[in-house]
Amino acid sequence: MDAGLIIHESRFTFAAHGLVQVADLGAWWEAETGLPVPLAGICARHDLDADTTRSAEQAIRASVQYALDHPAASREYVRANAQEMSDAVCDAHIALYVNALSLDVGDEGMRAITRLVRGGD
């Protein structure tokens, strides 16, 4: 049996290619844990000074906030790095990764990360 893992924008377009979904790991995670899917993290080396890490964090937050405030501004960048994308798929893809949790994972996001790293309940 041929099988594969579909990620990024292909999660919105797989059916158009004749592919069949066996499982949606994001939906499984959310149903199993009741928590958001921890998609990525940005970390700073522990030996960097506080001003450098604070400046980096502020720049990243400003970038994400700009993307939230101007969703169309991200579309060309995403499209340039994507395999295939209509405007609707592009917008859904951006919304998946640029959201309130991108600005601040909060308590729920931290619980999701802890659950992923430690496993179990």
The set of catalytic residues is: 8
Q: Are 31 and 23 in contact (CB under 8 A)?
A: no
Contact of 92 with 12, CB cutoff 8 Å: yes
User: For 45, which DSSP code?
Assistant: -
Given a contact cutoff of 8 angstroms between Cβ atoms, the answer to whether 84 and 100 are in contact is no
Q: Which amino acid is at 103?
A: L
- Both tokens of 1, joined, read 């049996």
